[in-house]
Chain A
Amino acid sequence: NAGVTQTPKFQVLKTGQSMTLQCAQDMNHNSMYWYRQDPGMGLRLIYYSASEGTTDKGEVPNGYNVSRLNKREFSLRLESAAPSQTSVYFCASSKDRVNTGELFFGEGSRLTVL
């Protein structure tokens, strides 16, 4: 039972480089999310996808793009990485919207931008 799988787990980038974080879930969930975790702050939503084919901005979307490739996969792209994007990124999924259902999280991806 894989649950939510995200790759890579660790990545070091130079300022200006691009990269994509991949996320896949095998629970047939409708909604998927990307959060970032920074020291001294709560998890903050970057983007989410309520269903296949839709994406919406969260609290901190600037500098990121997302793609809901299919029901299983939701990727997060940094087009031109900046040191402020150094963070731990978590992908999550839920069966439906968060007013009724819990989130299931991946193990996190630690990104360092030099």
Chain B
Amino acid sequence: ILNVEQSPQSLHVQEGDSTNFTCSFPSSNFYALHWYRWETAKSPEALFVMTLNGDEKKKGRISATLNTKEGYSYLYIKGSQPEDSATYLCACHYGGSQGNLIFGKGTKLSVKP
């Protein structure tokens, strides 16, 4: 069974702090990695889809990197704001699994003003 691990499970930071969290995944037969942002009482929204080793993507203060050879991705948030408080989900797609994205359990970020 493929397992996507996210760490830490939760994180509390002060406004203005920069932070990062990790997604670890089996690298064999890897096709793509997704990052989603999930605010309480809303639906998950996509941040990035990454496929190539060494990929780096950026959206405003949020960026992500991908290492497919060693099986990890980092999500960085620069200068955290209270509105960044959310659960960040990582999900991976593997060859042979067709439509199935394997989701991690998420990292819950709380940013205190």
Q: Which residues of A contact B (CB under 8 A)?
A: 4, 31, 33, 35, 40-45, 48, 50, 56, 58-59, 90, 97-108
Chain B: number of interface residues, binned into ranges: 20 to 34
Task: Give Cα distance in the complex from A112 to B98, angstroms.
Answer: 30
Residue numbers in B under 8 Å from A104 (CB-CB): 46
Residue numbers in B under 8 Å from A35 (CB-CB): 103
Cβ–Cβ contact B99 & A43, under 8 A: no
Closest residue on chain B to residue A90 by CB atoms = B43
Q: With A90-B43, A103-B34 known to touch, is A58 a contact of B49 (CB < 8 Å)? A: no
Task: Give Cα distance in the complex from A35 to B32, angstroms.
Answer: 19
10 additional contacts, CB 8 Å, given A33-B99, A43-B103? A40-B105, A42-B105, A45-B100, A45-B101, A90-B43, A97-B99, A99-B51, A100-B49, A103-B44, A104-B46
Cβ–Cβ contact A31 & B32, under 8 A: no
Task: Give Cα distance in the complex from A42 to B1, angstroms.
Answer: 14
User: Which residues of chain B in 1-53 are interfacial with respect to chain A, using CB atoms and an 8 Å cutoff?
Assistant: 4, 31-32, 34, 36, 42-46, 49, 51
Please classify the interface of chain A as helix (H, G, I), strand (E, B), loop, or mixed, using the class held by over half of its residues.
loop
Task: Give Cα distance in the complex from A108 to B74, angstroms.
Answer: 27
Q: With A43-B89, A98-B32, A98-B93 known to touch, is A103 a contact of B105 (CB < 8 Å)? A: no
Residue numbers in B under 8 Å from A97 (CB-CB): 98-99
Cβ–Cβ contact B93 & A99, under 8 A: yes
Residue numbers in B under 8 Å from A42 (CB-CB): 4, 89, 91, 102-106
